[in-house]
A and B are shown apart, each in its own frame.
Chain A
Amino acid sequence: NAGVTQTPKFQVLKTGQSMTLQCAQDMNHNSMYWYRQDPGMGLRLIYYSASEGTTDKGEVPNGYNVSRLNKREFSLRLESAAPSQTSVYFCASSPTGGDGYTFGSGTRLTVV
């Protein structure tokens, strides 16, 4: 089992470009999450999906959109990238909202 798979691992964008970060889990988990991690800031929740068909905003949703494509996949889209979105992005999943999370290996995004 791969667990949580994120693609791509690295990406450089120009300001104003768009892109979608992909996340897939093979553990039959109901809940999925997107976080960003900046130095000294810990992990901040962008969006989450408690179950297939639902999505909710987290702490820092501005500038992002998400799609829970099916139970396995949860994508994060940047419509018009800004330098402030330079960060490491982690996808995570859990059986339900109250369980420990399994994280993917992250996507390191730089916006120039």
Chain B
Amino acid sequence: GQQVMQIPQYQHVQEGEDFTTYCNSSTTLSNIQWYKQRPGGHPVFLIQLVKSGEVKKQKRLTFQFGEAKKNSSLHITATQTTDVGTYFCARNNNDMRFGAGTRLTVKP
């Protein structure tokens, strides 16, 4: 099974609302990666976090890596319909293991 746990499994928001998905591990991670998969599409790499407490931003997306390197989050500010999809975190020790993902739907 997955070695990283993601919550929530589903999230439905009104356009303009914020969205956050969380990724947790019972063990210390060397790094964490985030991917987005549009409905019917394939996963697309978004970002990699490596350092304890690291925060990275991509436009309306903010990624955080916990101080203990056991958790991570992805926050989207003011969601848009183009944000629809499933967001996966993944831990990488030369073979990537994915969380189950958070499916985001956005109501216009």
Q: Which residues of B contact A (CB under 8 A)?
A: 1-2, 9, 31, 33, 35, 41-45, 47-48, 88, 90, 92-101
Contact = CB atoms under 8 A, between A and B. Distances in A.
Contact of A45 (B35, B47, B97): B97
A74 interface: no
A97 B43 contact: no
B31 A102 contact: no
Given A97-B92, A98-B92, A100-B33, A42 B42 contact: no
Contacts of A31: 94
A86 to B, nearest CB: 17
B97 A100 contact: no
Contacts of A59: 1, 97
Nearest to B86: A42
Contacts of A104: 42
Interface string A86-112: 000010100001111111111000000
Interface residues of A, number: 26
Nearest to B31: A98
Contacts of B99: 42
B97 A103 contact: no
Given A50-B94, A56-B95, A101-B33, 9 more contacts: A31-B94, A35-B98, A42-B98, A43-B98, A45-B97, A92-B43, A99-B48, A100-B48, A103-B44
B43 to A, nearest CB: 5
A45 B100 contact: no
A33 B96 contact: yes
Contacts of A90: 42-43
Interface in A13-70: 31, 33, 35, 40-45, 48, 50, 56, 58-59
